[in-house]
Amino acid sequence: MSKMLNPKSIVFASLLVVGVSSQAAPLKIGLVETLSGPQASTGLMFKVATRYVIDQINAGGGWNGEPVQLVEYDNQGGPAGASDKVKAALADGVQLIVQGSSSAVSGQITEDVRKFNLRNQGKEVVFLNVGGEALELTGEKCHFHHFRFNTNAQVRVKALVSAMKQDNALGTKVYSINQNYSWGQDMEAAIVSNATAGGYQVVEKTLHDTNKIQDFAPYVNKIAASKADTVITGNWSNDLLLMMKASKAAGLTARFGTAFLDQPGNIANAGDAALGHYVAHTFNADANGKDSEVFAEDYKSKTGHNPVYIEGQTVFGLQMVASVLKGVKAQDGKLNVNAFAKALETAKFKTPLGESAMRADDHQILLPIVVSKVSKDAKFKADNTPMGFQTVKLFSASEAAAPVQASCKMQRPG
């Protein structure tokens, strides 16, 4: 005959089970990204880079004794879709939200997160911005639960102009062409404000619809007519791909200074016409000797390709997040988001290009920036062509930094 269990023992055992299960609640990180449609090529690269770091975290034991869960939400490229997916992520218990494609989407997510946190104190979430570069995100829209792990227009244009001038490649006439939304407008303003330092005149400025133009020939004709020495642009995705195609077809001789020329497909589209064009980017495999090469080789072994475009900044930013998570203990079986954010805002992390640091005043990361030019002498080739990106100058985080915007009024819980 079996022994009768004491009811008090049953209750105690049940409490132990509940305690263990609460301690084992997995940390959920939600990727709210463009994973389908015409802009998916960029969103899928954010996904690959994010997965690379999540796999590293889990290989090291995860967090709170459990593997970190990456949950994917397809925002389909627009702010409205992103807002719906943020709601779904919050309902699923996601505590950290990752996104990068398009500042317009980042602006929607950061506002959704801010409003949710105001209404749900004690259940806050953090937005890890790995790609939205609009100045307003760390300016008037800055808040305690938003962190940016990439650059902005001030940083990119400052580095680009400095390196191109040093390389005697800038000229005296610059054409500004950008997408007509917050990021493109920031780029145009930065191109104008750097004219004195760069010793150039802005001969014309063009803002155009974002990712809606199928034929850039009329714009390329305007550039040719302006007799500009250099075109500076923050265009990305199809707008840059199609502009490269049109430039090649027209035989445009003006040099390009860009933010995203290392997006896959651009060099193949432009062909030899890309030779001598410049890019200010967050990673180049040959920028810092063995350190950058070792990272590139490991990334390629895991993903099948070298890290390019937005992948370096995404990996380094999320590795900083991972380093901070190690020091944040679970509270009632979950991540204390405010404790995590407080630790993250003073974090430092050594990337393969040098030291990076989160700036507490506006939650803008300070990170090294590389300016490279397209050359057949580049060690690492792009798009299965004989061309690649040859490092012109590596700027340290302090050299590349732009000042805190006066419009950021950071308020902290408590």
Q: b or e along 32-49 (b: 16 or more beta carbons within 10 Å of the residue's beta carbon)?
A: bbbbeeebbbbbebbbbb
Query: Is the separation of the CB atoms in 80 and 98 below 8 Å?
Result: no
* Amino acid in the structure at residue 323: S
CATH topology of domain 22-151+290-366: Rossmann fold (3.40.50)
Q: pTM for the whole thing? A: 0.91
State the Cα–Cα distance between residues 47 and 41, nearest whole angstrom: 10
Task: Answer whether CATH 3.40.50.2300 is correct for domain 153-281+368-400.
Answer: yes
What are the helix and strand counts (H, E) for the chain?
14, 15
pLDDT value of residue 24 = 57
The pLDDT tens digits along the chain (414 residues) read 444 444 444 444 444 444 444 445 899 999 999 999 877 889 999 999 999 999 999 999 999 999 999 999 999 888 998 999 999 999 999 999 999 998 999 999 999 999 999 999 999 999 999 999 999 999 999 999 999 999 999 999 999 999 999 999 999 999 999 999 989 999 999 999 999 999 999 999 999 999 899 999 999 999 999 999 999 999 988 898 899 889 989 999 999 999 999 999 999 988 888 999 999 999 999 999 999 999 999 999 999 999 999 999 999 999 999 999 999 999 999 999 999 999 999 999 999 999 999 999 999 999 999 999 999 999 999 999 999 999 999 999 999 999 999 999 999 997
Count CA atoms within 13 Å of residue 381 on its CB side.
Answer: 8
β-bridge partners, 256? 231
Query: Is the separation of the CB atoms in 53 and 311 below 8 Å?
Result: no
Residue range(s) of every CATH 3.40.50.2300 domain in the chain: 22-151+290-366, 153-281+368-400
The structure tokens 């009329």 sit at 218
3-state secondary structure of 27: coil
Pairing of strands 278-281, 369-375: antiparallel
Q: Go through the chain and tell me how many residues it has.
A: 414
Residues 6+ apart with CB under 8 A from 293: 285, 286
**Number of neighbouring beta carbons within 10 Å of residue 210:** 20
State the Cα–Cα distance between residues 374 and 223, nearest whole angstrom: 21
Smallest CA-to-CA distance from 110 within 53, 68, 78, 148 is with: 148
Residues 6+ apart with CB under 8 A from 403: none
